[in-house]
Chain A
Amino acid sequence: MIGNAFHIALREIRRNVMRAFLTVLGVIIGVAAVITMVTLGQGTTQAVKNQISSLGSNLVMLRPGMGFGPRSSSAGVPNFTVADVTALRDQIHGIAAIVPVSSTSLSTIYRQNARSTSITGTAPAYFGINNWKLARGRLFDETDLRDGSAVCVIGDTTKTELFGTEDPLGKLIRIGKTASSSSSSTTTTKETPYSSTFQVIGVLAAKGQSGMGNQDDTIIVPLSALQHRLTGRTSARNISQIALSAEEGANSERLVADITSLMRSRRNLHANEDNNFNVFDTRQIAETLSASTKMMTTLLAAVAGVSLLVGGIGIMNIMLVSVTERTREIGIRLAIGARAREVLLQFLVEAITLSCVGGLVGILLAFGLCVLLARLIDVPFLFDPKINLIAFFFSAAIGVLFGFTPARRAARLDPIEALRHE
């Protein structure tokens, strides 16, 4: 009997394809929207996680400044010293590696090519802490740091911009002199008293574009070389950032608290004063960001779910019209011996078939939309069978829910009245 009702339902749909399509359009859009939202949301969460982990998964950064975000201010806030780095390394437990970082923006010249690039002076452990991989050549080491060697490691974008297709290894580039005046809270822009020639010894593997700007447009040199040859050692407070990696399994909240309290005492802050430095823990940032994208995804999916519900009302509407139109047919069926429950089943199966077909079309549409949009907004496309199944069963449930009222109306018809219906 169910097989037969299904057969009749398919025939009714085939008889008026356009009407069936319009009837289930709401369900199609609802299912497609729910799946697309959830899939893209998961892709975005994954993209955020990827970006954060490209920074270094256990990375903790210290930067001078009051508060952070748009109202942050670094004006008049003292930088760090190398002694701060030593103190942190010696007194805080759970630090795997720690380096001082001094960044500035300088012009770089190779033959006719000149451009302004971020120059970072640091120690060799910086590469490991920040998750940099070497593509070619070598990184600088402790000897280079001690000697203040004029060597540099360049990012992938810098390599392309300065050297084009040329092999940069062993080439000399000029850094400094014509200082650019890029101003940002993280780079200390000063009048550059010096310029110097650096030899390229290594090229870093690309990290790709991230929410933090293009990380690949960078030149990394030994801290001593930056200070001696470029910025000049104007004061001991010339460390604009401290980067460290936590030990595997270390309690990052505890670590951040310990660092904060040590730095407060080293910077002579009173109990009633705010921090004049920020401690960023990438793992915490990653958790916060993925929690908020997850919440956003849930919210959007809920809105899309409402359109699925509205789609169900569309089905109920057309099924009610259909019952009225087919009153005579129902009368014939009742007269030749159909029971009320068989008429009910027929119309219920028809509504469910409609909504399931809508669900399937919606799933196909969602797949196309996800592939397209994922490429457009540059997030990975993660096919999730679970949400597809949920959306499909939800559309079937919509059919039952909204098909029941019209089906019951059909089943309650009086055969004599129904046969007389014009």
Chain B
Amino acid sequence: MNAPLIRLNGITKKYGVGDAAFQALRGIDLTIARGDFVAVMGPSGSGKSTLMNLLGCLDTPTTGQYLYEDIAVEQLNADQRSLLRRHALGFIFQGFNLLARTSALENVELPMVYRNIPRQERHRLAKDALATVGLADKFANTPAELSGGQQQRVAIARAIVTSPSTLFADEPTGNLDSKTTIEIMEFLVRLNAERGITILLVTHEDDVAAYARRTILVRDGLIATDHAKP
């Protein structure tokens, strides 16, 4: 792996002002290589969610530098960050965050709508993505008609249909039973291995983090430990 995909340099994040101010991140330096599979762990309030929001370009740091590929993310405005997310990033969430009362197919098509991909092309790509996650026969179902594991797989299909370079997974198995958790995690491992998608995973379960190649522990706004599997 050549140039790193992500470089964080002295990132801090402060919420609020004056006495009520809260220092969520106190100076993070982090480099993530292209194609890596990183788990971010930490107790609640540690700053791991703030870190993930920054990495996912949903938020901007108070100070510090964030280079995604060669783009200085901290200098982008909201619309520019939207475009970066649209073209380079994919997201899956603990609560799945699918559009309710909307078919699996339409959910998967959603990111392509904003990419102005023509309708037929969208249909084709969305069906391919649903087939990849093993839901080829469920494309007409709405989230209410799918199990939790199936919903998360629709969300994964939505995240990967645009072939992002990085996939952000925020507690993706938090709402799932252990059997489904294993299914989803094994699928993420395969995506990472077969497609070279960089995966950033937030979790507080050790056995979920164990699927990652590298585990970062955040505590009190700083990186406490950073272990890579040999």
Complex: A341 Cα to B79 Cα, angstroms: 9
Beta-carbon contact of A4 and B113 below 8 Å: yes
One digit per residue, 1 when the CB lies within 8 angstroms of any chain B CB and 0 when it does not, for chain A 195-216 equals 0000000000000000000000
- B79 A340 Cβ-Cβ under 8 A: yes
Binds A, one of B83-91, B130-138, B219-227: B83-91
Q: How far is the CA of A342 from the CA of B79 in the complex (A)?
A: 10
The residue among A331, A336, A339, A341 with the most chain B CB atoms within 10 A of its own CB is A336
Task: State whether the Cβ of A333 lies closer than 8 Å to any Cβ in chain B.
Answer: yes
* A88 beta carbon closer than 8 Å to chain B: no
Chain A window 1-34, contacts with chain B (Cβ cutoff 8 Å), 1 for yes, 0 for no: 1001000000000010000000000000000000
B114→A337 contact, CB < 8 A: yes
A338 and B58 within 8 A (CB): no
Residues of A within 8 Å of B97, CB to CB, are: 328, 331-332, 335, 419
A135 at the interface (CB under 8 A from B): no
8 Å CB contact of A336 from B53, B78, B91, B116: B91
Report A-chain residues with C-beta under 8 Å of the C-beta of B113: 4
Nearest B residue (CB) for A8: B113
A139 adjacent to chain B (CB < 8 Å): no
User: Do residues B91 and A342 form an inter-chain contact, with CB atoms below 8 A?
Assistant: no
B158 within 8 A of A: yes
Please provide the chain B residues from 176 to 204 with a CB less than 8 Å away from any CB of chain A in the complex.
Answer: none
For the complex, what is the distance from the CA of A103 to the CA of B5, rounded to whole Å?
107
Q: Number of B residues whose C-beta is below 8 Å from A?
A: 27
Chain B residues, Cβ within 8 Å of A339 = 78-79, 82-83
Q: Verify if A416 is at the interface (C-beta below 8 Å from B).
A: yes
Asked whether any CB of chain B lies closer than 8 Å to the CB of A329, the reply is yes
Complex Cα gap A403–B86 (Å): 26
When distances are taken between beta carbons in the complex, the residues of chain A under 8 Å from B128 are none
Interfacial residues of chain B within 126-154, with CB under 8 A of chain A in the complex: none
* In the bound complex, CA of A341 to CA of B97 (Å): 22
Contacts of A415 in B (CB 8 A): 58
CA distance A341 to B80 in the complex (A): 12
Q: Which of A401-420 contact B (CB under 8 A)?
A: 415-416, 419
B93 interface hit (Cβ, 8 Å): yes
* A15 to B83 CA separation, bound complex (whole angstroms): 30
Q: A4 CA to B116 CA in the complex, in Å? A: 10
Shortest beta-carbon distance, B57 to chain A, in Å?
A: 10
Chain A interface, DSSP helix/strand/loop, else mixed: helix
Contacts of A341 in B (CB 8 A): 79
On whether the beta carbons of B114 and A336 are closer than 8 Å, the reply is yes
B87 touches A337 (CB 8 A): yes
**Can you name the residue of chain A whose Cβ is closest to the Cβ of B168?**
A335
Tell me if A225 is interfacial: C-beta within 8 Å of chain B: no
Q: Which of B59, B83, B116 contacts A1 (CB 8 A)?
A: B116
* Residue in chain B with minimal CB distance to A336: B111
CB-nearest residue of chain B to A335 = B91
Q: How far is the CB of B32 from chain A (nearest CB, A)?
A: 20
Query: Residue B53 contacts which of A1, A333, A334, A416 (CB distance < 8 angstroms)?
Result: A416
Q: How far is the CA of A339 from the CA of B53 in the complex (A)?
A: 17
B99 interface residue per 8 A CB criterion: yes
Whole-angstrom distance between the Cβ of A202 and the nearest chain B Cβ: 77
B110 within 8 A of A: yes
**Is the C-beta of B14 less than 8 angstroms from some C-beta in chain A?**
no
CA distance A337 to B100 in the complex (A): 19
Evaluate contact between A342 and B114: CB separation under 8 angstroms. yes
Q: Is the CB of A336 within 8 A of B86?
A: yes
Expressed in whole angstroms, the Cα–Cα distance for A284 and B101 within the complex equals 66
Among candidates B99, B101, B111, residue contacting A337 with C-beta atoms closer than 8 Å: B111
A343–B28 CA distance with the chains assembled, in angstroms: 33
Q: Which residues of A contact B86 (CB under 8 A)?
A: 336-338
Chain A residue contacts of B90, Cβ below 8 A: 336
CB pair B158 A336 closer than 8 Å: yes
* Measured CA separation A416–B50 after assembly (Å): 10
Given contacts A1-B116, A329-B99, A342-B114, contact A337 B93 (CB under 8 A): no
Is the CB–CB distance between A336 and B101 below 8 Å? no
Question: Which residues of the partner chain A approach B101 to less than 8 Å between Cβ atoms?
Answer: 15
Contacts of A419 in B (CB 8 A): 93, 97
A338 touches B59 (CB 8 A): no
Q: Within the complex, which residue of A4, A329, A335 is in contact with B85, where a contact is CB–CB below 8 Å?
A: A335
- Shortest Cβ distance from residue A408 to the other chain B in the assembled complex, whole angstroms: 14
A338's partner among B56, B82, B89, B91 (CB-CB below 8 A) is B82
**Interface, chain B (partner A; CB < 8 A):** 53, 56, 58-59, 78-79, 82-83, 85-87, 89-91, 93, 97-101, 110-111, 113-116, 158
Given contacts A335-B97, A336-B91, 15 further A-B contacts (CB under 8 A): A4-B113, A329-B100, A331-B97, A332-B97, A332-B99, A333-B110, A335-B58, A336-B110, A336-B111, A337-B85, A338-B86, A339-B82, A340-B78, A340-B82, A416-B59
A/B interface sample: 7 pairs, CB < 8 A? A332-B98, A335-B58, A336-B158, A337-B83, A337-B85, A342-B114, A419-B97
6 nearest CB pairs, A to B: A337-B86, A337-B85, A336-B111, A339-B82, A339-B79, A332-B97
- Chain A positions near chain B (C-beta within 8 angstroms): 1, 4, 15, 328-329, 331-342, 415-416, 419
